Structure 1
Amino acid sequence: MNGVSRFGGAETRRRFVLRYRSGEYRQEEDVIATEFALTLFVNGEEFSTLVCTPTYAEDLVYGFLASEGVIRDVDDVESIRVSLWTGTARVQTKSGAVLSPALYNKRYIGSCCGKGRQSFYFQSDALTARPVEDPVSLSADDVFRAMDLLDASSGLFEETGGVHVAALVREGQLVLARADIGRHNALDKIYGHCLRAGERLSGTAVAFSGRISSEVLLKVAKIGVGVVIARGAPTLLAVDLAEELNITAIGFVRGRAFNVYSHPWRLADAKKAQGAIEGA
């Protein structure tokens, strides 16, 4: 079980700030997102330090280890002990293998999409990111509904403005949402929950509060979800990876508009335009 943190397990703290409004300064109380360092040990050796929001810590650890390729499912874990008081998570895997963080953090260059473009990967990405075959179909209204559900679950962001939020949605319903100061952590918390709960991923999409970077796109692929819907824009590398990994990347969801950057065949009402984007 998670221990009590030095922050009492709180994801926010209150502090007095000097606020400037309407031409004058006032001292007022503000809500600030907690930033917490969780050092992860695997089989007795220090593996990584995750700077995170101190909630759903076990989900975060499971999701991070699966994303890094250290484990494939929960059965690979012999034991896990998280102490937010000491800021540590200790995991014993059934293999007991001693891991080299340098090996998992090593970058190499691969060919993207089989078209000669070069992409940078962590070694763990090549091991764990696979094309997503889910034939989930959405409408434009489903896209807007996904962002509405994300917004409705973004209480911590509304309070602090200092976190990222990720939500897993299916057929217009919220499956779960997680917030964290780290955008990768929010996705790892979703991944960890799905692993531990045996959550069915077919028919789901990930809604995300930020931009779609290559790291975010790879996290979505590792979770096994075929659609990512984001408030912000993607990077070019993220779009190339989305094409390669069979993921529909939707960005710039603002008002009643959005852009589809890859695999528009999952949008039932966009099939007429599919030829245009594929021929570009």
Structure 2
Amino acid sequence: MNRPFTRDLPVSTKRTIVRYTGESKVELEDAIATEYALTIFVNDQEMATVVCTPEHLDDLVIGFLFSEGVIRDIRQLEDMTVNLHAGKARVKTSTTVNFNQAFYNKRYIGSCCGKSRQSFYFYNDVHTAKRVEDKTQLSPLDVLTLVNHMEDSANLFQETGGVHVASLCDSDGIIETRMDIGRHNALDKLYGHAVRAGVSLDGKVITFSGRLSSEVVLKVGKIGAAIVLAKSAPTSLAIDIADELNITAIGFVRNGSFNVYTHPWRVIDGRAEESQ
């Protein structure tokens, strides 16, 4: 790729609001998260429109294309430009890439790993979300510390309360944090950063500020992280997918406690390490 685009738009705006506390009210200025629509074109073919927070757009586009399996090697990415006013990102690849728009939006029902229960995926997810074989392990203190550090680094969330936060970590701490109004976008931004910066994804952990949905777990699987730590609850489908993809899903990481829903062998508590 010749160059990334790095310009960002304001990620928040100030608005005068009226706040009520009981029967009393006060007029004050509040920070509101920016919502921005970016349409992605690949070799002049429109692929998708992503509603996002307009920062780290280079990471977002690259992470999205890798996550969807449109490109699989950074060397395929020859050029990328964005028209901030028009809300368009144009990607040029050095090799021919194909994506079927019908398949891209098609819901696929399949039975993963030969199991009897069915999991719901988008068609593309079947080809891009693979079983994670990484044997990374964390201590309980690591789990709590990484989520606390993610919250400390979430300046836009602290300002607006209107974005999701995701961090790429290892057992030593946070490597990078990204924020976005879309939970999937925050994860794509992390993926794009790792790809652009050449960060190895072996031994990596994802921390996430919100609910652990099936969509989040699928994104974690596409990134290749073995462990995902979330502040909030998982869904039943998220647990099923994490189980099938060999991802350790941990939720309700707050107030000094957490729940491990799948593959608990990756959390070690000082006793003899378990292995799968």
Report the TM-score range of the alignment, normalised by the length of the smaller protein.
over 0.9
Question: Who is 2:104 aligned against?
Answer: 104
Query: What CA deviation, in whole Å up to 9, does each residue of 1:29-78 have, x standing for no partner?
Result: 10000000001111111110000000000100000011111011211212
**1:65 match: secondary structure:** helix
CA shift at 1:272, angstroms? 8.4
* Structure 2 contact 5–80 (Cα < 8 Å) conserved: no
The question of whether the paired residues in 1 share the 8 Å contact of 2:6 and 2:56 is answered with no
CA RMSD, 1 decimal:
2.0
Q: List alignment gaps of at least 5 residues for structure 2.
A: none
- Secondary structure, in 3 states, of the residue corresponding to 1:269? coil
- Using the alignment, how far apart are the partners of 1:274 and 1:107 within structure 2? 37
TM-score (norm 1): 0.92
Q: TM-score, normalization: structure 2?
A: 0.93
Q: Which amino acid aligns with 1:111?
A: S
Partner residue of 1:192? 192
Q: Check if 1:2 corresponds to 2:16.
A: no
Correspondence list, 1:213-232, <5 A: 213-232=213-232
For residue 225 of structure 1, report the CA deviation from its aligned partner: 0.3
> In the superposition, relative to structure 1, how do residues 4 and 272 fare at CA in structure 2: closer, same or farther (>3 Å)?
closer
In structure 2, C-alpha distance between the alignment counterparts of 1:91 and 1:259, rounded to whole Å: 41
* Partners of 1:147 and 1:251 in 2: CA distance: 11
Residue 53 of structure 1: aligned partner:
53
Against the structure 1 CA distance between its residues 97 and 148, is the aligned structure 2 distance closer, same or farther, given a 3 Å change threshold?
closer
- Sort the Cα spacing of 1:112 and 1:97 in 2 relative to 1 into closer, same or farther, 3 A: closer
1:101: how far off?
2.0
Q: Which residue of 2 aligns with 1:19?
A: 19
Once the two structures are aligned, what percentage of the paired residues are identical? 53
Q: Per the alignment, do residues 110 and 140 of structure 1 end up closer, same or farther by CA in structure 2, a change over 3 Å counting?
A: same
CA distance in 1, matches of 2:181, 2:240: 26
Q: CA deviation at 1:19?
A: 1.1
Aligned 8 A contact 1:3 1:83 in 2: no
**Number of residues of Structure 1 aligned to a counterpart in Structure 2:** 273
Q: Which amino acid aligns with 1:37?
A: A
Match of 2:30, SS state, is strand
For each residue in 1:147-197, what CA deviation from the matched residue of structure 2 results, as whole angstroms up to 9, or x when unmatched?
111111111111111000000111231100000000000000000010111
SS at match of 1:252: strand
- 2:164 alignment counterpart: 164
Change (3 A) 1:132 1:147: same
- Corresponding residue of 1:78: 78
Pair 129,18 (structure 1): closer, same or farther in 2 beyond 3 Å: same
Secondary structure of the corresponding residue to residue 125 of structure 2? helix
Q: Distance in 2 between matches of 1:115 and 1:131?
A: 14
Q: Secondary structure at the match of 1:268?
A: coil
Residue 233 of structure 1 aligns to a residue in which SS?
Answer: coil
**1:88-123: CA deviation from partner (whole Å, max 9, x where unpaired):** 100112233454322212111111343210111112
Specify the SS of the correspondent of 1:16: strand
* Partner Cα distance (1:105, 1:95) in 2: 23
